Amino acid sequence: MTVVYQVYPRSFQDSDGDGVGDLAGIRSRLDHLVWLGVDALWLSPIYPSPMADFGYDVSDYTDVDPVFGDLAAFDALVREAHDRGLRLLMDVVPCHTSIEHPWFTEHPDWYIWRDEPNNWLSAFGGSAWAPLDGRYYLHSFYPEQADLDWRNPEVVAAMQDGLRFWLDRGADGYRIDAIDRLLKDPHLRDDPPATEPFGLPLSEAEAKLARIYSGNAPDTGRALAKIREACGDAFLVGEVYLPSSRWAPYLEHFDAAFAFELLHSPWEAGALRAAVERSTRAPGAAWVLSNHDFGRLSTRFGDENARAAALLLLMLPGPAFLYQGDEIGQGEGPPGERRFDRAGRDRHRHPMQWDGSPSGGFTTGEAWLPVVDAPERNVADQRDDPGSMLTLVRELVALRRELPDGFELLDAADGVLAFRRGGHTVAINTTAEERPAPVRGEARIQTAPGALSRGLLAPHAGAVAMG
């Protein structure tokens, strides 16, 4: 697996004019992914869901939400993806179900309950416990997402069935949601006050607690082994929201873990280098710089750095995950008239911009979130433009395919991140001034014409040179 393209199904392509993307729409755009040269697509959740967390609140693990299509539409998508040589990863949400999942009423003992809340906090703010019928159930995320008890063998068996279901239908693997929250302290002890920083951003309240009991329990490996058992040798990448120094138990069972230290690093060469260095200590880093939770390359690192960020993402060793729209430098959207995500993530989820029409070619109806700036930024225009971000991303994906293994961080001038990668030197200037780059040969790929000239990198530029 080298480059995986993240499809956010609601916002990729609508086929039926209801303003929400769907599986038939994704199928009609597979050729874009082939043209771009990626190996696989990852579908954010498509299961039936009340959409309190836009699909991350699953109410049935073995079906498709009608807004996205049906199982036949999934089968057609997987078939056509495979016909084109693309693999397909599903998104599995094992930590919690929707409270509208029939399991929640039929099998309350599959969930985690207490007579009184402890001090654990939900990732979205406030107590992680919600009252129901005189008791409290645990929800590490929204109250509509009740945490499953993975120490209950019936839960494990039911989840294994769900995992096998999609692999049997042709899926090639999973991105596994919030996996560091899978197992908690069996005694549900209070988290103590934090004595050192967690290492990744948390909400202000969460950061005050050392999250040692509310997740990442010492016996997590047993549950991960059950996930692996159901998945055979399918590709598994974990959303392990922990510093990379704590990945080991996860990588014993999964192929990769998202390197969130890099995603959260400021666009500054020293910080980027330190994050890459830490995450490459153990093999298994999957690189990601943006997604449906944290925002887009062009807004997070600045429009002026978006190309260099794409170059970094695609030149690092190991799987790289590219979020839909980042290949054209799509920006964040303004708030829509209606607010959908209570945690404020709508702005990262605006529709894909395929052409310069007002709807961006996304829908014939009214898009669920407004299309941001399709006339200025769209796939159709950038495809024909040799100087576009889309052309750059395509060239990087193609080069990456040829690169042999090998990775070594290099010393470089202040403000320059540089590494050797498969017989090439990659150098990125994170500053607004010209900087020397430790390269010998001519640029093979550069973020803009003349970005690398006589060993000097232009401001905000990046380049890959032979040798």
Give yes or no for a contact between 215 and 140, defined as CB atoms under 8 angstroms apart: yes
Q: Which of 293, 304, 332, 355 binds ligand NOJ (CB under 6 A)?
A: 293
177 touching ligand NOJ, by CB under 6 A: yes
Q: Cα(121)–Cα(127) distance, rounded to whole angstroms?
A: 5
Point out which residues pair with 87 in neighbouring strands: 40
Residue 141 contacts ligand NOJ per CB under 6 A: yes
CB 39 within 8 A of CB 400: no
User: Which 92-111 residues touch ligand NOJ, going by CB under 6 A?
Assistant: 93
Give CA torsion, residues 397, 401, 405, 408, to 10 deg.
-20
* 239 flagged as catalytic: yes
Tell me how far, at minimum, the Cβ of 362 lies from ligand NOJ, in Å.
21
* Residue matched to tokens 């769209």: 378
The secondary element (H helix, E strand) that includes residue 43 is strand 40-43
The active-site residue out of 144, 239, 326, 395 is 239
Applying CB under 6 A, what is the total number of residues that bind ligand NOJ? 9
User: Which residue's entry shows tokens 């829509």?
Assistant: 336
- Considering only residues 441 through 460, tell me which ones interact with ligand NOJ, judged by CB under 6 A: none
Residue nearest to ligand NOJ (CB): 56
- Minimum CB–partner distance for residue 11 and ligand NOJ (Å): 13
Binding mask 63-92 for ligand NOJ (x = CB under 6 A): ------------------------------
One-letter amino acid at 277 equals: E
d(CA 409, CA 402): 20
* Alpha-carbon gap, residue 370 to 360, rounded angstroms: 10
> Which of 47, 56, 103, 166 is in the footprint of ligand NOJ by CB under 6 A?
56
End-to-end CA distance of the chain: 25
Say whether residue 53 binds ligand NOJ (CB under 6 A): yes
Cβ contact 417:457 at 8 Å: no
Catalytic member of 91, 147, 177, 326: 177
Q: Is 144 in the site for ligand NOJ (CB under 6 A)?
A: no
Cβ-based nearer residue to ligand NOJ, 145 or 446: 145
Q: Is residue 261 part of the contact set for ligand NOJ (CB under 6 A)?
A: no
Write out the catalytic residue numbers. Answer: 177, 239
User: Which residues are near ligand NOJ by CB under 6 A?
Assistant: 53, 56, 93, 141, 177-178, 239, 292-293
